[in-house]
């Protein structure tokens, strides 16, 4: 059997050659190609628009002509191939860990590799869907371009999450990290180049036209407890079926996980989608719930905040990655949760401990509560919406790299460990072409009761609006109330000068004693916005195209500024 070091060298040789193998562009481009004597210059010009121009130009076949869209197809094809090979590599590791065999790797390492495998599968599905669509058309509408830019942005996020998990794995052999990290670094470049070319070839060519940013609060009949919701018919939302979960055994199921497993697979997603409703009777459900990608259009309804509670206590300190520490994790597209508390009870002493990890596109949480300390709510990827929710935490407790909007939420910083500070957000955008970011509108930021009492007796814990987790971190607070707990500087560094010129942090028309911007940070990437036109791109209608998908959920929303 080959040693890890031998395997490492074989992987390097394979992926190095894979990155530069010859694969011709489409032989019949659908738009005009440049003259042959200008091909090299034209290719260089295109590649210079990507974050990795050298890798882009060196990977293209020599003397091959094509358009920006042809080049995008070429790199998507290479991305698909690389992702398939990466999955095969992960399979080879995981097959050694089958039940009954002697584990060759520490359990935290196995968990990190399992995370990577799930993330790579998601990326493979995304890349296949994108390539199959754009390989046969040059015409996409504005929603389609937004969708594919979102999907390709998520592929990069998946890659970064895999890398992070490997770094977190306790006592993981360094050679394993190296073997897995090498193809990931190649994949990151391919995915980034593909995203840049897609943005230039399709997104920048679409005329989005004028949007209506006027106030429009869509009232839905999703009020009261779970029983009232069902009786009200969810304000016209189409239901395919309703099942009941009750711990005492009087419902259809006694656990949420069993109800999820029994839900139909791969239901169609459309503008008239029907929801499979799982009604969870009040009580504390101590279980880890996962909504996989084949469970689409699920709606989880409880009896109300602090009445229906899903609770767990996994943490990084106890050997889980941040990604798989979540009490509740969702991937299935079109997921909706209403009137539920999601809780991680690991406590501040256990550091990263996620209550909810959301990787579900077109997902919404309404009238829910998220309780934890560090890393409470992991808005991991894709398009998400949170309305009338309570969010509790300490360090980076709203984090991730989704395109996410929070409206009318209560944000409660809690008491952290001694000598720690609070950071409400840690946004994880790694690439300038990702259409991701965190938009917080008409929310209320106040100290949780434990922080109020501690500040009264022991002095003030510094609380910041956020810090830049990744290089292109992007967060906007607008039309929100900020109590006096917010530090006058507003924002804090992650590590020295890292990302201070590349991030985008902004504040617009906020109120309350903590909203005074006169002593805010003076970073190049920080902005105090005064014009509604400048902040309109971060409204729900524009940022996540909420008007096109939220009406089917029955969740109320404001599509523009107040």
Query: Catalytic residues, which ones?
Result: 396
Task: Quote the DSSP letter at residue 537.
Answer: G
Backbone angles phi, psi at 244, to 5 degrees: -115, 135
At 137, give phi and psi (nearest 5°).
Answer: -150, 150
- What is the DSSP track for 55-120? HHHHHSPTT----HHHHHHHHHHHHHHHHHHHHHHHHHHHGGG-TTSPPSS-HHHHHHHHHHHHHH
Sheet holding 422-427, edge to edge: 289-291, 328-330, 356-358, 377-379, 395-400, 422-427, 463-466
Query: What distance in Å separates the CA atoms of residue 121 and residue 98, rounded to the nearest whole number?
Result: 20
Longest dimension (CA), the chain: 76
Q: Quick one: how far is CA 242 from the chain centroid? A: 28
Tokens 């390709």 appear where?
152
Pairing of strands 403-407, 410-413: unpaired
Instruction: Looking at 406-560, list the stretches that DSSP marks H as alpha helix, in order from N- to C-terminal side.
Output: 449-458, 532-535, 540-543
Percentages (nearest 5) of helix, strand, coil residues in the chain:
35, 20, 45
Q: Which of 448, 341, 336 is nearest to 392 (CA)?
A: 448
**Terminal alpha carbon distance of the chain:** 65
Beta bridge partners of 506: 476, 527
β-bridge mates for residue 329, sequence order: 290, 357
CB-based contact 517:298 (threshold 8 Å): no
Q: Token digits for 233?
A: 């018919």
Residue 462: C-alpha distances to residues 288, 412, 428, 457, 522 (Å) = 33, 14, 22, 15, 18
Angle CA 134–140–144, to nearest 5: 95
CB-CB contact of 293 with 124 (8 Å): no
Q: Which two tokens stand for residue 196?
A: 């840049």
């Amino acid at each position: 059997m080959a040693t890890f070091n031998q395997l490492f060298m074989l992987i390097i040789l394979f992926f190095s050659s894979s990155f530069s193998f010859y694969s011709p562009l489409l032989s019949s481009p659908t738009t005009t190609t440049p003259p042959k004597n200008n091909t090299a210059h034209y290719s260089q010009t295109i590649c210079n628009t990507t974050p990795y121009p050298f890798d882009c130009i060196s990977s293209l076949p020599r003397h091959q002509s094509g358009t920006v869209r042809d080049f995008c197809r070429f790199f998507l094809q290479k991305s698909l191939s690389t992702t398939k090979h990466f999955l095969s590599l992960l399979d080879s590791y995981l097959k050694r860990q089958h039940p009954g065999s002697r584990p060759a790797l520490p359990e935290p390492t196995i968990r990190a590799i399992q995370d990577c495998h799930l993330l790579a599968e998601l990326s493979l599905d995304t890349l296949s869907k994108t390539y199959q669509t754009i390989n046969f058309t040059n015409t996409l509408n504005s929603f389609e371009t937004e969708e594919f830019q979102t999907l390709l942005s998520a592929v990069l996020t998946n890659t970064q999450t895999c890398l992070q998990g490997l770094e977190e794995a306790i006592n993981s052999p360094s050679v394993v990290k190296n073997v897995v990290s090498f193809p990931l670094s190649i994949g990151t470049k391919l995915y980034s180049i593909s995203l840049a070319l897609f943005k230039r070839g399709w997104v920048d060519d679409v005329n989005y036209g004028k949007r209506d940013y006027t106030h429009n609060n869509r009232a839905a009949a999703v009020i009261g407890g779970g029983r009232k919701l069902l009786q009200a018919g969810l304000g016209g939302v189409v239901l395919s079926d309703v099942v009941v979960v009750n711990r005492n055994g009087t419902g259809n199921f006694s656990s949420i996980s069993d109800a999820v497993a029994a839900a139909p697979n791969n239901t169609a997603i459309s503008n008239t989608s029907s929801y499979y409703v799982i009604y969870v009777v009040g009580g504390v459900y101590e279980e880890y719930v996962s909504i996989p990608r084949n469970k689409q259009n699920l709606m989880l309804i409880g009896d109300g905040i602090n009445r229906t509670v899903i609770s767990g206590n996994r943490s990084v300190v106890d050997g889980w990655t941040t990604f798989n520490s979540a009490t509740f994790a969702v991937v299935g597209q079109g997921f909706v949760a209403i009137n539920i508390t999601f809780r991680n009870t690991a406590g501040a002493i256990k550091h990263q401990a996620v209550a909810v990890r959301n990787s579900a596109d077109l997902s919404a949480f309404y009238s829910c509560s998220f309780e934890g300390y560090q890393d409470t709510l992991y808005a991991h990827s894709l398009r998400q919406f949170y309305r009338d929710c309570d969010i509790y935490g300490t360090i980076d407790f709203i984090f991730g790299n989704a395109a996410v909007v929070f409206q009318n939420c209560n944000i409660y910083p809690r008491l952290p460990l001694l000598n720690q500070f609070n950071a409400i957000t840690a946004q994880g955008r790694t690439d300038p072409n990702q259409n991701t970011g965190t938009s917080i509108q008409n929310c209320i930021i106040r100290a949780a009761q434990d922080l109020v009492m501690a500040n009264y007796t022991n002095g003030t814990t510094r609380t910041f609006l956020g810090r830049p987790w990744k290089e292109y971190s992007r967060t906007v607070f607008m039309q929100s109330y900020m109590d006096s707990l917010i530090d006058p500087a507003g924002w804090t560094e992650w590590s020295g000068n890292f990302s201070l010129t590349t991030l985008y942090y902004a504040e617009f028309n906020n109120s309350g004693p903590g909203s005074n911007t006169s002593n805010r940070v003076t970073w190049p990437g920080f902005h105090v916005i005064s014009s509604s036109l400048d902040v309109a791109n971060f409204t729900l209608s524009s940022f996540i195209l909420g008007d096109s998908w939220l009406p089917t959920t029955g969740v109320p929303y404001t599509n523009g500024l107040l």
